[in-house]
């Protein structure tokens, strides 16, 4: 993608992120990288389609990329900024600490990714992906006529990981993704009680950088408009993320999912009216809790589903390919847009 490094520093890196990193002291690049190996531990990319290409010796190798990418490395007083780009995605990651000695901590990651090939294996030929976008049901683009770009954002304070504070690797993994623990209800409930009374929301294995939520959406939308996109999208991992997106003017791409989230909001209000007030992070935990089975395992005071509404689970489990796609229109061409997939059953 054509987004420049200067635009990334101006519109995506927040004042807090820049303050943590300190000034740039050295630039290394551009480098054209043709393998999955990165410049340091944690800097690797993917080959999700497992393409087999020939290396310099003519041997088939799984670490060769079908589409190489360009790598820029900015060393700062306190860490490093890495910017990668190919034809479909521009991606920035900020590291706090000495990355060359394996002491760098990922504190910020943001990306814009063209969705034109989603729902097909061609999407996975982009090596700058963490997850597959090839599922034709869950990753189908919202429109055949409008151009769309996906945003993704990750921003956490250094030294704030649950694991660092508790030494409990299992609890750290649970906070990072509670849906991975649904197959063991008793363990889930034990870990849930600890997380529920913390200030961390699901997915927040580290403390959020305070200004990311305020700066991220305007920055992404500015760049998406500048480079001609009609729509900007995100996949909302948890209830609090979806609420953040709605506050920024985003809409649900599926009627079924929109109704499900609305019914969950009503369920949370029912719990409040019955005498259990919930913080924003606790609301997200309670929404995730409704996916636990059997339903009888869900504590009565925090349960708003029944056997008849057992289908009412969070639409994106962050384990399977199911996504809660949300979108915002950017161009005049997209005015009045309703997604082609709005009435799909997911």
Q: What is the DSSP letter of 142?
A: S
Q: 89 pairs with which residues across the strands?
A: 113
Q: Which residues contact 203 (CB under 8 A, 6 or more apart)?
A: 175, 176, 177, 237, 238, 241, 318
Per-residue pLDDT tens, the chain, 346 aa: give them: 789 999 999 999 999 999 999 999 999 999 999 999 999 999 999 999 999 888 888 888 889 999 999 999 999 999 999 999 999 999 999 999 999 999 999 999 999 999 999 999 999 999 999 999 999 999 999 999 999 999 999 999 999 999 999 999 999 999 999 999 999 999 999 999 999 999 999 999 999 999 999 999 999 999 999 999 999 999 999 999 999 999 999 999 999 999 999 999 999 999 999 999 999 999 999 999 999 999 999 999 999 999 999 999 999 999 999 999 999 999 999 999 999 888 766 5
Where in the chain are the domains? Answer: 5-334
Phi-psi region of 50 (alpha: psi -120 to 50; beta: other; left: phi over 0): left
Q: Which one, of 128, 133, 132, lies nearest residue 112 by Cα?
A: 128
| CB 209, CB 107: distance < 8 Å | yes
Please tell me the predicted confidence (pLDDT) of residue 346: 57
Please give the pLDDT value at position 341: 80
* Contact by Cβ (8 Å): 234, 247: no
Contact 36, 93 (CB under 8 A): no
pLDDT confidence of residue 340: 84
Q: What Å distances lie between residue 18 and 11, 60, 95, 308, CA to CA? A: 12, 42, 11, 50
Gyration radius (Cα) of the chain, Å: 21
**Closest CA relative to residue 242, chosen from 324, 133, 345, 330:** 324
d(CA 286, CA 311): 16
What's the pLDDT at 142?
Answer: 96
């Amino acid at each position: 993608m054509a987004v420049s490094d200067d635009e990334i520093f101006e519109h995506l890196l927040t004042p807090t992120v820049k303050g943590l990193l300190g000034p740039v002291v050295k630039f290394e690049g551009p480098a054209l990288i043709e393998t999955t190996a990165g410049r340091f531990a944690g800097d690797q990319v993917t080959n999700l389609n497992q393409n087999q290409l020939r290396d310099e010796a003519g041997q088939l190798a799984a670490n060769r990329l079908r589409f190489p990418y360009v790598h820029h490395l900015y060393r700062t007083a306190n860490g490093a900024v890495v910017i990668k780009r190919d034809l479909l995605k521009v991606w920035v990651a900020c590291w706090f600490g000495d990355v060359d000695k394996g002491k760098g901590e990922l504190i910020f990651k943001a990306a814009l990714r063209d969705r034109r090939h989603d729902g097909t294996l061609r999407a996975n030929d982009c090596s700058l992906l963490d997850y597959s976008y090839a599922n034709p049901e869950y990753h189908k683009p919202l429109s055949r006529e409008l151009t769309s770009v996906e945003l993704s954002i990750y921003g956490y304070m250094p030294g704030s990981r649950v694991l660092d504070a508790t030494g409990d690797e299992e609890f750290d993994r649970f906070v990072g993704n509670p849906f991975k623990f649904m197959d063991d209800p008793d363990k889930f409930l034990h870990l849930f009680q600890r997380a529920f009374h913390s200030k961390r929301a699901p997915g927040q294995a580290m403390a959020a950088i305070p200004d990311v939520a305020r700066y991220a959406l305007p920055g992404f939308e500015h760049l998406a408009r500048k480079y001609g996109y009609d729509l900007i999208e995100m996949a909302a991992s948890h209830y609090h993320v979806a609420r953040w997106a709605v506050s920024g003017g985003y809409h649900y791409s599926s009627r079924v999912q929109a109704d499900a989230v609305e019914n969950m909001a009503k369920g949370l209000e029912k719990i409040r009216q019955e005498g259990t007030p919930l913080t924003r992070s606790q609301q997200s935990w309670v929404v995730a809790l409704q996916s636990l089975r059997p339903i009888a395992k869900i504590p009565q005071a925090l349960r708003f589903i029944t056997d008849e509404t057992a289908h009412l689970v969070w639409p994106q489990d962050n384990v399977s390919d199911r996504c809660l796609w949300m979108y915002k229109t950017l161009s005049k061409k997209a005015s009045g847009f309703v997604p082609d997939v709005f009435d799909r059953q997911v």
